[in-house]
Amino acid sequence: MEALVIGSGIAGMACALRLAKQGIHVVLASPYPSERSQSVMAAGGINAMVSGNEEGDSVESHIQDTLKGGSGLGGEEAVRGMCEHGGEIIRYLESIGTVFSVDGANKPVRRAFGGQSHKRTYYCGSATGKQIVSALAMECRRFEAFGMITRRLRCSFHSALIRDGAAYGALLYDEASARLEACYADFLVMATGGQNALFGKTTGSSLCDGYAAGRLFMQGAVLKNLEFIQYHPTTLETAQKKMLISEAVRGEGGRLFYVENGERVYFMEEKYGKRGNLMTRDVISREIYATGKDVYLDISFLDGQTIDERLPEVRDICIKYRGIDIKKEPIPVSPSVHFFMGGLAVHLNHETSLRNLFAVGECASIYHGANRLGGNSLLSAIYSGFVAADEIAGRAPARKYPDFTAFMEDERRLLKKSSASKSTFPVFYIRDMLSMTMAEHLGIVRDEKGLEEGLTDIGYYLSIAEKIRYDRSVPAYSNFSLKPILCIAGATLASARERRESRGAHFRSDYPETLERYGYATLVSYQDGKFQIRPDQEHAYES
């Protein structure tokens, strides 16, 4: 039996390892020359209730916090499964070499994150993602040595091999040979992360561009909850991206302010009292947006040793990227796109609407509902990888692969046309325009008019993309990814327009209330070039 896993972030590697352990050969494809991914950026930690470390906490409390954070749209059964397995996942990570931070008595330490009723975030200094990724990568190498995992580096997902509603592997674009190759598999697992690059500069990786989910959407997969996009309130602008300024700064007493008539205005404290700076990410992001001013985060009043001990990564980022010494001066901050609650719709077993096609990690939508709690995504990435692998291990392999020669030849012809084309169609120009459209109309605060305008823009970009499809001055990937990226962007705008209420990370200035009649997840499918939106009654909110 053979599985093809696309994406070697935490979710992809966790899934590949669990499959390999159960005797299933895995091909693990990644566009990088190594296991690099957005997962390495995770700093804050991973949530879990580990028995023996309760200190008043419980699995039930983790479940309730997660469901509440998701405004009732996270699937309850799924959330329950994830939280119940938190302890087992921490133990697993330790067993493969992840070193979590401990106190003087050698007991694991935990930190608090917004929306949690207890301290349950395990961390590895300020490098949780790096620690977990390197432990998983070493383990993958071990299974590679046994012949159970084959890595395909510099290979991007191009399209799925789909016949009669079932997947039989994928076409991979091999950057080295500039060729499309068919990779047949009994099961295809997508672990391609979020849609960051639709928005230009974000806290995440520009390789997480939504292409894979967009292409699958065009091939018949259903997407879910796309309108729920988490903005992180405190990020630092740099040339390439918005660097995350961890919630830990506010946890240590950091104060947000703007300047008016030469005086500091601590707007969060004025409105919400002493805990104002620790309100949830969506609330702070909206308040910063509402000031219309340059906002700063000050921690310089803390003594230097405490900053060195507890906030070393923030100190480094500010010095390295902007020459700001946080011991002496405030940090200029602004909200930025950070995490995608929406993605490929999956059942409890992580199978998508297409048979034998699974989605895990941030590219799947199931646990986080309308908003995600910090620290829950690393947990969901690993847990979802395990769930999909266990489901696959219990299934029978495809007896015979259908013939995809015609499909492959068509796609190869289009690619060839790309390299022979004389057109200088500006793909990157459209991508830049797309980022502007998304930032303008799918920001922290949305309204009907803006969303309509955004959809009109996408329609226009799509019409150009249809006419002149190729730009020789950019890599082939940038050409073939354009239309699916525009489609997922359009589906996101359409989903946000249809939700005429405010809930979690989705805030509509024209519909500011949360309405019971919208207590369901949004499903969107692609039919004849149109986005069909419908409610997911399975995950309807029971109030």
Binding site for ligand FAD (CB under 6 A): 6-12, 29-32, 37-39, 41-46, 128-129, 156-157, 191-193, 203-204, 207-208, 211-212, 244, 339, 361-362, 375-378, 381
CA distance 161 to 250: 48
CA distance 72 to 76: 8
Beta-strand relationship, 343-345 and 364-365:
parallel
511, β-bridge pairs: 508
- Our CB check for ligand FAD shows the closer of 25 and 130 to be 130
Q: What is the separation of C-alpha 20 from the centre of its chain, rounded to a whole number of angstroms?
A: 25
- Our CB check for ligand FAD shows the closer of 46 and 465 to be 46
Smallest gap, in angstroms, from Cβ of residue 165 to ligand FAD? 22
- Our CB check for ligand FAD shows the closer of 31 and 114 to be 31
Smallest gap, in angstroms, from Cβ of residue 81 to ligand FAD? 17
Structure tokens belonging to residue 539: 């995950």
Smallest gap, in angstroms, from Cβ of residue 514 to ligand FAD? 25
Smallest gap, in angstroms, from Cβ of residue 386 to ligand FAD? 13
Q: At what angle do helices 476-498 and 448-467 cross, to 10 degrees?
A: 150
CA distance 285 to 384: 29
- Our CB check for ligand FAD shows the closer of 378 and 496 to be 378
**Which residues does 514 contact at the CB level (< 8 Å), separation at least 6?**
71, 501, 502, 503
From the list 18, 215, 281, 431, the catalytic residue is 281
162, β-bridge pairs: 167
Measure Cα distances from 467 to 418, 462, 531 in Å. Answer: 14, 9, 21
CA distance 281 to 452: 26
What Rg value do the Cα atoms of the chain yield, rounded?
23
Smallest gap, in angstroms, from Cβ of residue 339 to ligand FAD? 6
Question: For this structure, is 281 an active site residue?
Answer: yes
- Our CB check for ligand FAD shows the closer of 369 and 519 to be 369
Active site residues: 281
